[in-house]
């Protein structure tokens, strides 16, 4: 089976969030299932620079939303790629989505419609690479940036199947309806059963309405999307398509996130008892003293979604018990400043920004990782925590609910707990959970058992790859 993955970002080439990790990991994971996956990406500066010698042009487009473009086939970072070389759309420094002013690029609708259009052309027409024809059986579209693929494919008469994965329904690719003709879309589809969304044009809704199958990144998030408080105005669409919706958990790259081989940490380890060197090194790096309580970490975007305003409110419950917090993140300016202010307290250290190596050292050295998200489609940092024996304390939502076994009395009696969950998602329950974390940390045998359980949890891609392969086969099966 041949599958074309359509993504706006892909690790390790370009990344702003979990979508990139999924796009980067799936090709290798699916190879074991007999699936040949290529990935189409915009030609951002980092992607163009990473392309290995020998990339070849396989398609040209004279008028791609304001300029000419070439489609290149090549390789980079172990991935088989199609790259859209369209400098007028993608050759820009800085964020792939945002300008220097922090706002969306004004032509984002055209930039990602171009991604969808070129992917649809590959699906409908195929390409020739080194004298051999290549045409996908299925197009796997990721988030709103690939939402128009099914519409473009239908206009071209393409027959390959389509799957759309929702990584975060909060981002919907909205633009004014005056863009319909500019994007080459049929105005006849601008209605409630098409891509109209409260008078606007929604790229995500376009894909949700027309893709053959829908997935999201955890079973619990799939169920949540059908509820108004999580569906972001699209819960009705999700309910209407519930028979076509699957929740498939994300995995992590177990070679990149492996405490036994991690070159970023003070001393690699295979057992939780080996965390001591990394903990001591982390405290030294972050300027934290030794303490009797748990050292907790946060590695996150600083946004309301991530519930970090709740953590600020609940933080005294941790500090009063001798606990500590080391945070790495950036985002909302108000939250950045609030955490800088919190770092004036003993036991709190904050780094604003992002540093991949430091994120490894934080997760390896901390006793616990805090993920108090208001909603979380899947989440990856709790999986990194499990892998490193760093106990996750998480909100009971989305993929956090699916991946962490709460330290309830029953789970502790059975010896299966891997972390803590709290609900409802507000400051007081979080404070109670932080107190409970400190209680468990004060019981060395119980804590060690939880750490061992965490490190033995499957967090890779094997089972999810099997689920995707089964979904693909179902999607391309004759009706």
- Contacts with 150 (C-beta within 8 Å, 6 or more apart), sequence order: 141, 162, 164, 206, 207, 210, 211, 212
Q: Is 15 marked as binding a ligand?
A: yes
Three-state SS letters, 324-370: EEEEEEEECHHHHHHHHHHCCCCCEEEEECCCHHHHHHHHHHCCEEE
Instruction: Say if CB 139 and CB 158 are below 8 A apart.
Output: no
Is the preceding omega at residue 424 within 30 degrees of 0, hence cis?
yes
What's the 3-state SS for 15-64?
A: CCCHHHHHHHHHHHHHHCCCCEEEEEEECCHHHHHHCCCCCEEEEEECCC
Round to whole Å and give the CA distance between 295 and 300. Answer: 16
247: left (phi over 0), alpha (psi -120 to 50) or beta: beta
Structure tokens, 435: 């107190």
Strand, coil or helix: 215: strand
Q: Count other C-beta atoms under 10 Å from residue 53's C-beta.
A: 6
Bridge pairing between strands 245-247 and 295-302: unpaired
In the 8-state DSSP scheme, what is residue 146?
G
Tokens of 19: 């979508």
The bridge status of strand 79-85 relative to strand 36-42 is parallel
Q: Buried b / exposed e across 140-165, counting CB within 10 Å, b at 16+?
A: bbbbbbbbbbbbbbbeeebebbbbbb
Closest CA to 323 of 302, 299, 297, 347: 347
Cite the annotated binding site by residue number.
Answer: 15
Cite the annotated binding site for ADP-alpha-D-glucose by residue number.
Answer: 15
């Amino acid at each position: 089976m041949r599958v074309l993955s359509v993504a706006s970002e892909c690790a390790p080439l370009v990344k702003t969030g979990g979508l990139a990790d999924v796009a980067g990991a799936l090709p290798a994971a699916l190879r074991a299932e007999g699936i040949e996956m290529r990935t189409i990406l915009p030609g951002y500066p980092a992607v163009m620079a990473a392309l290995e010698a020998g990339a070849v042009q396989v398609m040209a487009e004279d008028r791609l939303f304001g300029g000419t473009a070439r489609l290149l086939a090549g390789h980079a970072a172990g991935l088989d790629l199609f790259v859209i070389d369209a400098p007028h759309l993608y050759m820009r420094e800085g964020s792939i989505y945002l300008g220097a002013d922090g706002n969306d690029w004004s032509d984002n609708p055209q930039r990602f419609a171009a991604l969808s259009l070129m992917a649809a052309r590959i699906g409908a027409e195929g390409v020739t690479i080194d004298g051999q024809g290549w045409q996908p059986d299925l197009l796997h579209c990721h988030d709103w940036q690939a939402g128009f693929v099914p519409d473009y494919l239908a206009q071209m008469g393409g027959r390959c199947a389509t799957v759309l994965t929702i990584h975060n329904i909060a981002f919907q690719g909205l633009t004014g309806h005056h863009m319909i003709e500019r994007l080459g879309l049929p105005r006849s589809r601008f209605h409630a059963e098409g891509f109209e969304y409260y008078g606007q044009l929604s790229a995500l809704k376009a894909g949700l309405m027309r893709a053959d199958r829908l997935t999201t990144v955890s079973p619990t998030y799939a169920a949540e999307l059908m509820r108004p408080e999580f569906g972001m105005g699209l819960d009705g669409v999700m309910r209407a398509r519930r028979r076509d919706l699957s929740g498939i958990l994300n995995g992590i790259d177990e070679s990149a996130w492996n405490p036994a081989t991690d070159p970023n940490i003070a001393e690699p380890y295979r057992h939780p008892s080996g965390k001591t060197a990394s903990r001591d090194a982390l405290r030294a790096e972050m300027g934290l003293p030794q303490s009797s309580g748990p050292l907790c970490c946060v590695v996150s975007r600083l946004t309301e979604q991530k519930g970090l305003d709740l953590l600020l409110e609940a933080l005294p419950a941790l500090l009063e018990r001798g606990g500590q917090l080391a945070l790495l993140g950036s985002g909302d300016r108000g939250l950045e400043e609030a955490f800088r202010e919190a770092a004036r307290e003993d036991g709190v250290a904050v780094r604003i920004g992002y540093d991949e190596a430091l994120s490894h050292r934080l997760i390896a050295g901390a006793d616990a990782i805090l993920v108090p998200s208001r909603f979380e489609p899947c989440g990856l940092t709790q999986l990194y925590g499990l892998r490193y024996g760093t106990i996750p304390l998480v909100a009971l939502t989305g993929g956090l609910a699916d991946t962490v076994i709460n330290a309830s009395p029953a789970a502790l009696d059975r010896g299966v707990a891997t972390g803590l969950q709290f609900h409802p998602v507000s400051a007081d329950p979080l404070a109670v959970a932080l107190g409970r974390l400190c209680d468990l940390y004060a019981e060395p045998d119980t804590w060690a058992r939880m750490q061992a359980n965490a490190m033995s949890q499957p967090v890779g891609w094997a089972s999810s790859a099997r689920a995707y392969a089964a979904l693909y086969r179902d999607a391309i099966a004759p009706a």
